[in-house]
Amino acid sequence: MTIDIAIILTPFIMAALIPIFYRRLRKNVIGWVVLIIPVSLFLLLTTYIPRVAKGEVFSHTYEWIPSFHLNFTTYIDGLSLIFSLLITGVGSLVILYSIFYLSVKESLHHFYCYLLLFMGAMLGVVFSDNLMVLYAFWELTSVSSFLLIAFWHHRKASRAGARKSMTITVSGGVAMLVGFLMLYAMSGTFSIREIINSIDAISGHVLFIPALLLVLLGAFTKSAQFPFHIWLPDAMEAPTPVSSYLHSATMVKAGIYLVARFTPIFGGEMIWFWTITGVGLFTLFWGSFNAVRQVDLKAILAYSTVSQLGLIMSLLGLGSVAVYLGYSTETVIYTQATFAALFHLINHSTFKGALFMMVGIVDHEIGTRDIRRLGGLMTILPFTFTIAIIGCFSMAGLPPFNGFLSKEMFFAAVLNITELNIFSIQNIGLLIPIIAWFASVFTFVYCLIIVSKTFLGKMKPDIVEKNPHEAPFGMLLPPFILIGLVIAIFFFPNLLGEYILQPAMLSVYPTFPSAEEMTPHISAWHGFNTELLMTFGVVVLGIILYRFLKYWSKIYRLFPKQWTLNAIYEKVITSSENVSESLTKRYMSGHLTHYFVYIYVSFVVIVAGTFIALDTFEWNPTNDAVIENYELILVFVMIFAAVAILFAKSRITTVLLNGVLGYSVAFFFVIFRAPDLALTQLVVESVTTALYLICFKFLAELKPEQSTKRVKISNGLISVFVGATVTLIGLTVVNYDKFKSISSYFEDSYNLAGGKNIVNTILGDFRAFDTMLEVVVLFIAGLGVFALIKLKAKKGDVDIEN
């Protein structure tokens, strides 16, 4: 096993071992054991940095189903390395933080199992080169995040937030899957590398733009872009370590990764540029605008995350214009937007992760996150206040913090794009820097709100009565490491640029000859220019808006609650549930007879209707074999048994007559030289007959059917039509000669599958997928039954209302 596959599988292996060994570990130890995994992976991944910085890539292919181009191909380059370092690095700090944040009374083995599943899934997403494998890991991140968000499942809000996040992200994932299949239809490969190499051949295909839009739909839903952002604030019901990990550094960045990875494929299209740039800018503004009105610290950070994700997304959209223009010394400047996106991606993970942990400390020590009940915490939580002020000032884009550097590069990118005369930028391009600037103003305002409403002013009396104190060292260490990076990156940004960001630029622009040209020198002081003036304007107007917040905040009342996206989502979900419930009640009558009627009528209408419409019923008895007398005897025996069942007065008689039908079928298998099928039929028929007799012994005596004459006639007609349909289909298949029979293919089963028994090879090889899925379904059903048997609900476990 190579290192890259080991990196992906290690979290999954550990997640599988936790349920087995957690009982042997003390609850306060399990977190420390789990911490070894992300720390080891992070240290291992750092050894790749020097080699990747020199332009090396690491790719390995593990064949799975080569005939369908389904191979597990791992690919480690500059772009995947950035994300993998964030996944394992921030994951290490989050696990360390959770050890002190979560109580030993919690179900810690479940928590760490889910967290490791998510970590492995995210590593699989960023390392996968095969589209189908990437999609599998992509949906696994949705499933594992659902489990993490709903960790406190006794809370109604947690369950609702988990359900909303999964509904939206999985729906986008399915759309993305369709886009992947379109790419395969165009290129004939699932490999992202090979698709990039064949871009000239597929860019004019009729499916190219639909595939582009479907891939973006998957990216937008996962990265909480407008209007799909509504799941992220509700996901804040998760424990703070989950919010700090999933919703600041990893899961929400999966869509960012997808856009960056597919920029070489779709970046030359105008619709790619405008969709990503437009949606990103509006998400940036809308998130920051709505963050100001929130009163819960986590809700403020949730909307700020939405806003910052929009900023990164818009930068990737702006940077895609370089793909359209192609390489030249004049167009390299537009790649700096992508550089700024990757730079801010890292910066955002540092300051936002620290801020989420800060909010967790406040909630943990004070017992509330409501800014209306907070204030004056600076004196009793001085270290937490330090985390808050550094994190918020970095997010606001102030020096000497890393957010200032990437924010200045963002301003430079939106100004540079207005100089282009393509994609109709000359007409509406001026709106880009205007929207970016106003969004930054609101960002500054909500950063002031977090700091001032929580830590400044007078302390509330109820807080004083609780005698709050600073968090333990273990909870302070992870956010302090992150804010240490916030400051260190500001003073040494070019180390990050040279060894981490520069190789990632070649991943986004593989046709550009040099990464050095696309890697600008980052400096804290770049003179008095338009970007710096925009920053001064943000600070001045931001302070003014904060000072007069109570006067202009009434503008939020202009947005009626019934027309918000959340309200529309709830109406759609509620309406769908009501329609489903009404429809289900109509056909789920509780009577087995009704269900058979639905099935048989649908069968006759669809199957017989199709045959009649296509005029495919054919019967030519001249080609049939001679029917022997013993075959006729068997047929009449079966007819007699089938008719006699209808008039049987006892269950035993019914079972025995049904057995006659089954054994007669077995005799036919013998006549037609299929001994294996005959033996199988005899065994199954014997076992089922015995089981029926055993079961019926304990049931009441069979009562005559109480049905009206009309029901009996309709049931009789349905039976006749079903029998006629099956008979006609059988006769048609025997004499159908318009297409070559598939049986000739299976006759070569020995060479194709290595088995001389056709039936066995069909079940075990030709139908391997179907058989495997049947086994999986039975396994899942068994697990469900086992869980229901073992489940012992305790009083108060489920709080339906809260």
In a domain, 283, yes or no: no
CA distance to 69, 206, 211, 258, 664, per residue, from 203 (Å): 21, 9, 11, 18, 61
Provide the pLDDT for residue 448. Answer: 95
In a domain, 252, yes or no: no
Q: Are residues 52 and 163 in the same domain?
A: yes
In a domain, 703, yes or no: no
Provide the pLDDT for residue 798. Answer: 45
Top pLDDT among 309 and 365 is at 309
CA pair distance 282, 313, nearest whole angstrom: 10
Of the candidates 141, 154, 82, the one whose C-alpha atom is nearest the C-alpha of residue 115 is 141
Give me the percent of the chain exceeding a pLDDT of 70.
96
For 754-765, give the DSSP string.
Answer: S-S-HHHHIIII
In a domain, 270, yes or no: no
- Cβ count within 10 A of residue 694: 9
CA pair distance 636, 109, nearest whole angstrom: 64
Provide the pLDDT for residue 746. Answer: 77
Average of per-residue pLDDT across 268-294: 94
**What DSSP designation does 622 have?**
G
CA pair distance 144, 165, nearest whole angstrom: 11
Average of per-residue pLDDT across 364-393: 91
Q: Are residues 409 and 549 in the same domain?
A: yes
Residue-wise pLDDT tens digits, 646-680: 888 777 888 888 888 888 989 888 888 888 788 88
Residue 326, phi-psi category: left (phi > 0), alpha (psi -120 to 50), beta (remainder): left
Residue 468 has pLDDT above 50, yes or no: yes
Average of per-residue pLDDT across 164-183: 94
Domain that includes residue 417, residue range: 327-565
Residue 799 has pLDDT above 50, yes or no: no
Q: Which two tokens stand for residue 521?
A: 């020198």
Query: Angle between the 156-187 and 131-149 helix axes, to the nearest 10 degrees?
Result: 180
Task: Using alpha carbons only, give the angle 177, 178, 182 rounded to the nearest 5 degrees.
Answer: 115
Domain stop point among 565, 587, 616? 565
Residue 25, phi-psi category: left (phi > 0), alpha (psi -120 to 50), beta (remainder): beta
Provide the pLDDT for residue 466. Answer: 67
Q: Are residues 233 and 338 in the same domain?
A: no
Provide the pLDDT for residue 802. Answer: 42
Provide the pLDDT for residue 790. Answer: 77
Residue 64 has pLDDT above 50, yes or no: yes
Residue 422 pLDDT grade (very low, low, confident, very high; cuts 50, 70, 90)? confident
In a domain, 504, yes or no: yes
Top pLDDT among 590 and 798 is at 590
**What DSSP designation does 591 have?**
-
Residue-wise pLDDT tens digits, 123-145: 999 999 999 999 999 999 999 99
Rg, Å, the chain Cα set: 33
Q: Are residues 233 and 346 in the same domain?
A: no
Domain stop point among 519, 542, 565? 565
Q: Are residues 153 and 32 in the same domain?
A: yes
Q: Are residues 234 and 342 in the same domain?
A: no
Residue 389 has pLDDT above 70, yes or no: yes
CA distance to 556, 634, 688, per residue, from 658 (Å): 72, 14, 10
Residue 697 has pLDDT above 80, yes or no: no
Q: Are residues 201 and 331 in the same domain?
A: no
In a domain, 352, yes or no: yes
Q: Are residues 190 and 336 in the same domain?
A: no
Query: Which residues face 59 on adjacent strands?
Result: 75
> Cα 209 vs. chain centroid, distance in angstroms?
23
13-17, 63-67, 238-242: least confident range: 63-67
Buried b (16+ CB within 10 A) or exposed e, 375-405: bbbbebbebbbbbbbbbbbbbbbbeebbbbb
Q: What's the chain's average pLDDT?
A: 88
Query: Which residues face 128 on adjacent strands?
Result: 74
Q: Are residues 343 and 478 in the same domain?
A: yes
Q: Provide the domain count of the chain.
A: 3
CA distance to 77, 166, 619, per residue, from 109 (Å): 34, 22, 65
Which run of H or E residues covers position 76? strand 70-76
Domain stop point among 519, 539, 565? 565
Q: Are residues 10 and 124 in the same domain?
A: yes
Average of per-residue pLDDT across 624-629: 77
β-strands 58-65, 70-76 pairing: antiparallel
In a domain, 383, yes or no: yes
**Which range scores top for mean pLDDT: 40-44, 588-592, 622-626?**
40-44
> Cα 553 vs. chain centroid, distance in angstroms?
36
- In 3-state terms, what secondary structure has residue 298? helix
- Cβ count within 10 A of residue 21: 11
In a domain, 307, yes or no: no
Residue-wise pLDDT tens digits, 210-221: 999 999 999 999
Average of per-residue pLDDT across 281-301: 94
